[in-house]
Structure 1
Amino acid sequence: MEALTLGPAGTYSHRAAKAVADEVVFTDSKTAIVEAVASGEYERGVVPVENSTEGPVTESLDAFAEFDVAAVRELITPIRHALIAQGPEFDVVASHPQALAQCREYLDRNYPSATLESMTSTAAGVERAREDPGVAAIGHPQNADDELRVVAEDIQDQSSNATRFLVVAPASERSEAGSKTSFIVYPNVDYPGLLLELLEPFADRDINLTRVESRPSGERLGDYVFHIDVEAGLYEERTQAALSEIEAIADEGWVRRLGSYDSETVLD
């Protein structure tokens, strides 16, 4: 099976995707991953959706609202950042903006005069360091090799730093089995107490909400799409009952059930 994810090789997305597929193909766009799976071009896509330090990955959320796919698996990847360079002397640190942000305190404390350079991925930062001895990269320590050395390990500001990925499949593979469920609600209305009305059906049935995010719908200013994750499967009667109430509230808009799935942690 092939899986499409963010490249190039050596990114954290690549490490997550290797737990899903024998062959991993790369792109530079989260939207492109979801679109390619929705069209049937790829059987699986692996998309980052949330980081414990930096929060939601908004491009991924917007792609889920735009393209109809199924969420079939959740992967949690602990993030281990290392400072990698050809030698101890450098004046630029290059990496993905989220990696730079996740190591902000370390960099401010140890390299306050270094220039921070944003790259499309952590792997691209590693390649930049490989090409220029004046550049260090932030990436997984296993990206070090004969040309690059690990200057420092575990430089992330939060030791519990982790990224959550969703494995997406064509909509026809949507499942009701699993311990978690993701869905998207576009009410297409706005009035006081709307969000409370959307959440009460779950509270009334003792269903735990693990994530609620709002994203602009793109239709008009102040109009939102809600992304909701719950700790319950679609196969459960209580989940079906709660969603029935929500669909009634959003009868002028729509509700998309991404599907139910189980979660696992992927260790390097």
Structure 2
Amino acid sequence: MIRLAVLGPAGTFSDVAARQYLKRHQLNYSLSYYNTIEQVAVAVAQTDQLALLPLENTLDGYVQNTLAILAKGQLRINGAVMVPVRFSLAANVPELSKIKRLYVQFKTKGQCTKIIQQLSQAELLTTESNMLSFAKLEDSTAGDAAIIPQFHLPELNPKKYLLVSDVTDQSDNFTRFIVVGKKIEMTTIGVTNHFRYTCYVTPKCDYAGLLYDILGHFAKAKLNLISLISRPTKKKMGQYSFYIEVSGVGEQLPKLHQVLQQLGKYYTVLDLGVYPATDLTESN
């Protein structure tokens, strides 16, 4: 049976996203849980299995760990799923001012800044997953608190914990996850169907107007760039690669291929795959 590697343990937003992706596509994969995003990537890069990685959040932007993993060129994007993300706070204290330590996942911090600013007296302790924050809370002593997924709130005893039901900075908060593997699964995209395409473009040398030239290829083909992020190549100071996402409809795919061929003459292009944009509609 095909395995899908996921940031665990069970009960994380990654776990929820994975189950919704499998349900939407009617796939019978088993889930394997790992403690960090990096461990998820290593596990799938060494096998022919698939992995689900968080890529982008409404409030906190792109996940730098995942962008770094994609830049290595070992994995390709096969699909995506987007899920709503809401957080609550639970504390082993009688009132918020008594919180001494606050456990929060590294990416959750940027989505709950308002409540964190209110707890300036608390020491902020970063965890690798929201479920690890939850586990720290369950093993807590007086003064401990954690920001946890809102859907886990009913699991806590309100007589033991001080509970704040929603501490997310805003209501329309989503995280986009991508499904990756060593190979690109070929997906048929009709001429009227919307798609997402992702790549890294790395210049072979630096010159004035470099970025203008790269973007001009897409503009002339009337392809919509929805994301452009510069990332260091880690080979030389001041040398960068450009992470690019493109949206379009199926009839534009031939133009996209022509653009990539043209870019390949002057730059190093790392093709990360194309997938249906329908994957990015909200999952229920």
Match among 55, 61, 67 for residue 61 of structure 1 = 67
- Contact (CA 8 Å) 1:76, 1:164: kept in 2 or not? yes
Match among 180, 193, 209 for residue 168 of structure 1 = 180
What is the CA-CA distance between 1:108 and the residue it aligns to? 2.3
Report what 1:82 is aligned to. Answer: 88
Report what 2:205 is aligned to. Answer: 189
Distance 1:30 1:107, change over 3 A: closer
Q: Secondary structure at the match of 2:54?
A: strand
1:208 aligned to 2:187? no
Deviations, residues 23-69 of structure 1 (Å, cap 9, x unaligned): 32122332332333233252x10111122222221121111121322
Q: Secondary structure at the match of 1:232?
A: strand
CA distance in 1, matches of 2:256, 2:269: 14
CA distance in 1, matches of 2:186, 2:47: 14
Report what 2:246 is aligned to. Answer: 230
- Could you tell me which runs of 5 or more consecutive residues in structure 1 were left unpaired when the two chains were aligned: none
CA distance in 2, matches of 1:86, 1:174: 50
**Counterpart amino acid of residue 193 in structure 1:** G
Distance 1:5 1:186, change over 3 A: same
CA distance in 1, matches of 2:54, 2:235: 25
Report what 2:3 is aligned to. Answer: 2
CA distance in 1, matches of 2:132, 2:281: 25
1:40 aligned to 2:40? no
Deviations, residues 66-108 of structure 1 (Å, cap 9, x unaligned): 1322211121122101112456444322111221232121232
Q: CA RMSD in A?
A: 2.3
What is the CA-CA distance between 1:124 and the residue it aligns to? 0.7
Question: Which TM-score applies when normalising by structure 2?
Answer: 0.83
Report what 2:34 is aligned to. Answer: 27
Question: Which TM-score applies when normalising by structure 1?
Answer: 0.88
Match among 265, 270, 273 for residue 248 of structure 1 = 265
1:140 aligned to 2:154? no
- Contact (CA 8 Å) 2:199, 2:271: kept in 1 or not? yes
CA distance in 1, matches of 2:260, 2:135: 47
- Contact (CA 8 Å) 1:176, 1:233: kept in 2 or not? no
What is the CA-CA distance between 1:215 and the residue it aligns to? 1.0
CA distance in 2, matches of 1:187, 1:176: 31
Distance 1:93 1:188, change over 3 A: same
How many residues of Structure 1 are paired with residues of Structure 2 in the alignment? 263
Deviations, residues 143-187 of structure 1 (Å, cap 9, x unaligned): 231446671223111322221111112325254746111111122
- Contact (CA 8 Å) 1:16, 1:165: kept in 2 or not? yes
1:261 aligned to 2:275? yes
Q: Secondary structure at the match of 1:8?
A: coil
- Could you tell me which runs of 5 or more consecutive residues in structure 2 were left unpaired when the two chains were aligned: 23-28
CA distance in 2, matches of 1:137, 1:117: 9
Report what 1:106 is aligned to. Answer: 115
Moved over 6 A (4+): none
Q: Secondary structure at the match of 1:18?
A: helix
